[in-house]
Chains A and B, each alone.
Chain A
């Protein structure tokens, strides 16, 4: 096992492909608005490129740091994240009615993007402590739930409802996978649903966005405008799209074209081929992270890989569902692709952690010569190892 570290290259290539695609598409989607607002078409592209470089550096660094170190500092990492979230209320910078940004030196960061991954680390540590402990309400179940709820409340006060939903969803999924009791999980889900129902009355814009989703055609110019323009972007793309840079929707039609709605621009300019490839790349990333989780040397590594994979995957899926009009409009970026430094750097760093876990795989890797180019054999091996799990899984 003391060989050269064998990184999961498929994951790496998938991530790099998405980042490269993001570079192109961010430029294509943003040059109009950049020229309009900052009189330079390269304004957003330049900043995005710098962040990509920074993100890739992080990816490299976290790839090299043994992931075990997170276990040791997990509590402090979580505390740091919560502190950052809390400091938003003091030094936060408001954009469109929501305090989501924090200015640190010259950078404006969105702490929630970092906090999500820190929560995953905390969860991994807690879940790794074993199922028995998790079954215990006070010592096993409540600490992770408490941390998640604390974070969700802070994020919710920003307000950032979509991230709250994401955090709660991830928490429940991880607790479910970790093997907690259904009673506890059910109680937690019930409380969350009740809180959500109460909050819906308070937050009118959420209700409106949901209503828009239900009857979109009624309101073309108001709230439904963005989703409608997004659908027009997808629809006009057809199979091969109109070509990179040739789309129309970014011409002030589709707001947030280079951030949350970059997927629509991909749909318009690269067509069905582009959207399908992006979807499959995210599916692949999740698939690889499951595989990494299975092969992780310890429980902590497993849950960490699963948590990170789930976070990236769920964020991507929610973003896609939102741009295609399945879910109401939410403020979640498309990881690796969207313009937005915090999300990009944090996702790349998380991918670095995933890659680091992949090097410490429990199962012996095939010889380095073949390992560089993963053969079909390995994939079929992975499938074989997964298949008996489904059948032989323990019933409760």
Chain B
């Protein structure tokens, strides 16, 4: 039988099969050898993806090293229900971490989503983190949280941090470059379940953590200013209030507080810092600058006299009034009694251009240069645009818009002998190892008045407090100087009848000021409209509080002690801030000090006496502790006030963040709540005082105020 297999047809099939094999072969060569590099690169990127390694944002501290803003490692906790085993134990761990209940999570899991977010800003213990990160179906995405541990700062000043880790306002925005650090990257690998893990030898670049920023803010001063301002705003029924405490010699801002009142005022701002971004008409406080101009130019002498026109004067450019009827006043009395008419008479014939340029030199109409976003330059019109009424109006603080900070810096210039300084909020920058990276030094803008004029003006200001409009600003035993201001608020068409800005600007001590304090109350109730009644009182309370609770007003030579210059058996108290109990005990032991604990958990957040105070070796230091859990709730223990003087008691309450309601006089006899009770920060403690018995309060004589 003849085989049909020698047929050409079978050969065709054979040839075709050879061709097909060759095609496959060439294709294998193509993808396995020729394109090997490209494909491999692609595969490597999928298998070993490069992931950003975020830098830790630097912390913000006050000048004493108290943390104001720190970044906490928190996570977004989510699950992919498809991979999550339905296991009670695992759900228990999950619900613990997300602080919900198991049944709630079960409910969520019934949804048909591929990913369900259970909770944000979850802080985990190491144990939980370990368990959760190895659990299938659970996702932990880093979501750093910015925390303000002590809540003692004006939120708008400190600013906040956006979800991408950049500052969104205030100091966080201004110093974002320093705080932020440089992100690195790391290469991950995928394991059998497709999850990412990191090999020990995987390449990567470590991130450079952000620098730590130390502010010029003194949190103790800040606490006092906050406290007093808050009380004043509610007492006076004001819409809002702002207060600034500045060192006139360096321009360092010790405290900057802003409070909103219960009354929704016209001047309400939610996004901008009032002190730097909002302008107001300063009123009589501006007379200091007018007087400075007149004295500096020699136009007027302190004892030139002007007639007060019995409270109302008609000038060719309009009618001006005084709050009281004045007769003949010297220029000094004019300032002391804040007479509008006499001030206008003194200034009305001066050269506008010269006055304008003087105001410019004083920093009005330009930004102060503080490193904060959205600073306003104020409103200062050019002389060409002035009407006949403008010059006299400006002389008494109308028709000009200034910021609180501009006014404070102008007072600083007078306080320090004539130098206009740049206000500073940042003290120094340290890297994450604590090494000094950058120090901010005082910057003087220009000399605006001569030291002689400045001295005269300081005398003027002191007179205001001694027997002028600002007598309520006086503080026992301290030489206070300042100027009141009561300005009507204009709404564009004219001045509003019952809307006022009450302000007081002053400095202590009068001869060689240690700080300048400016207090502004917006729209106080009509009983409190005068700066001499409302703001001056706040000023006085702030000064008193600072005197009691800090060493700002203490003459340097006696109290600020360099640790290298220890005399005899005296020792400078070290800072115990943020130390744990055992560490504090160790430090105290090293320094030969006795320490008294308020509790033995958490970290030190307050110490008496403050760091740097010189006390005898073996002396007593009281430490107050705050534990991690308390921070958010800010529960504080009521201090034991029994037997203390009212001042001492109030000082202790202020330091604990509590308000006081005092009845009687003398030493404290009763207090409510009782000592040691935990109450919320800001609660009121009633004190009943009397003179029945005296109790000596140990070796606590530290700050100057107690002695005075």
Residues of A at under 8 Å CB distance from B? 32, 35-36, 131, 173, 176-179, 231-232, 234-239, 248, 251-253, 267, 271-272, 275-276, 279, 282-283, 286, 290, 293-294, 298-299, 302, 306, 310, 313, 317, 320-321, 324-326, 388-390, 392-395
Contact = CB atoms under 8 A, between A and B. Distances in A.
The 7 closest A-B pairs by CB, nearest first: A235-B39, A393-B8, A389-B6, A232-B43, A272-B32, A234-B31, A324-B27
A253 B192 CA distance: 10
B40 interface: yes
22 contacts: A36-B193, A177-B9, A177-B13, A179-B9, A234-B32, A237-B32, A238-B32, A238-B33, A238-B36, A239-B33, A251-B190, A252-B194, A253-B194, A275-B28, A283-B21, A299-B1, A321-B27, A326-B23, A326-B24, A389-B10, A390-B11, A393-B7
Contacts of A313: 17
Contacts of B20: 317
A290 B32 contact: no
B46 interface: yes
Given A235-B35, A238-B36, A279 B21 contact: yes
A371 to B, nearest CB: 22
Contacts of B191: 251
B3 A394 contact: no
B43 A317 contact: no
Contact of B28 (A32, A176, A276, A310): A276
B25 interface: yes
Contact of A317 (B9, B24, B32, B193): B24
A125 B194 CA distance: 53
Contacts of A236: 36, 39-40, 43
- What DSSP secondary structure best describes chain B's contact surface? helix
Contacts of A276: 25, 28
A253 B193 CA distance: 10
A238 B40 contact: yes
A259 to B, nearest CB: 19
Contacts of B29: 272
B24 A279 contact: yes
Contacts of A271: 32
Contacts of B4: 131, 178-179, 299
A231 B39 contact: yes
Contacts of B40: 235-236, 238
Given A234-B32, A238-B33, A320 B7 contact: no
A267 B7 contact: no
B13 A293 contact: no
Interface in B1-59: 1, 3-14, 17, 20-21, 23-25, 27-29, 31-33, 35-36, 38-40, 42-43, 46-47
Given A294-B3, A393-B6, A252 B193 contact: yes
B26 to A, nearest CB: 10
A179 B31 CA distance: 39
Given A236-B43, A239-B33, A294 B13 contact: no
B189 to A, nearest CB: 9
Given A179-B7, A251-B194, A267-B32, A279 B25 contact: yes
A317 B21 contact: yes
Interface in B187-212: 190-194
Of B5, B11, B21, B33, chain A has the most CB atoms within 10 Å of the CB of: B5
Contacts of A325: 27, 31
Contacts of B194: 251-253
Given A176-B9, A177-B10, A235 B28 contact: no
Given A235-B32, A321-B23, A324-B27, 5 more contacts: A248-B43, A271-B32, A299-B1, A306-B10, A313-B17
A232 B39 contact: yes
Contacts of A302: 3, 5
Contact of A235 (B3, B13, B31): B31
Contact of B8 (A299, A320, A390): A390
Contacts of A290: 10, 14
Contacts of B25: 276, 279
Contacts of A238: 32-33, 36, 40
Nearest to A309: B17
Contacts of B39: 231-232, 234-236
A267 B1 contact: no
Contact of B24 (A179, A248, A320): A320
Contacts of A293: 5
Contacts of A283: 17, 21
A35 B28 CA distance: 31
Nearest to A316: B24
Contact of B27 (A35, A131, A251, A326): A326
A321 B23 CA distance: 9
Contacts of B193: 36, 251-252
A22 to B, nearest CB: 18
Contact of A272 (B1, B28, B46): B28
A147 to B, nearest CB: 21
B43 A235 contact: yes
Nearest to B34: A235
Contacts of B190: 248, 251
B13 A275 contact: no
A231 B31 contact: yes
Interface string B507-533: 000000000000000000000000000
Contacts of B192: 32, 35-36, 251-252
Contacts of A324: 24, 27-28, 31
A306 to B, nearest CB: 8
Nearest to A233: B43
Of B21, B28, B193, chain A has the most CB atoms within 10 Å of the CB of: B28
Nearest to A297: B1
A395 B14 CA distance: 17
B13 A176 contact: yes
A239 B5 contact: no
A191 to B, nearest CB: 21
Interface in B249-293: none
Interface in B41-89: 42-43, 46-47
A301 B16 CA distance: 22
Contacts of B9: 176-177, 179, 393
A290 B33 CA distance: 32
B707 to A, nearest CB: 76
A224 to B, nearest CB: 13
A294 B33 contact: no
B199 to A, nearest CB: 14
A178 B145 CA distance: 79
Given A35-B192, A238-B32, A326-B27, A173 B21 contact: no
A391 B46 CA distance: 55
Contacts of A326: 23-24, 27
Contacts of A131: 4
Contact of B11 (A173, A248, A320, A393): A393
Of A35, A239, A286, A298, chain B has the most CB atoms within 10 Å of the CB of: A286
B10 A235 contact: no
A317 B21 CA distance: 8
Contacts of B11: 389-390, 393
A395 B190 CA distance: 62
A271 B20 CA distance: 21
A176 B12 CA distance: 10
Given A232-B46, A235-B36, A267-B32, A177 B7 contact: yes
A131 B36 CA distance: 50
Contacts of A306: 10
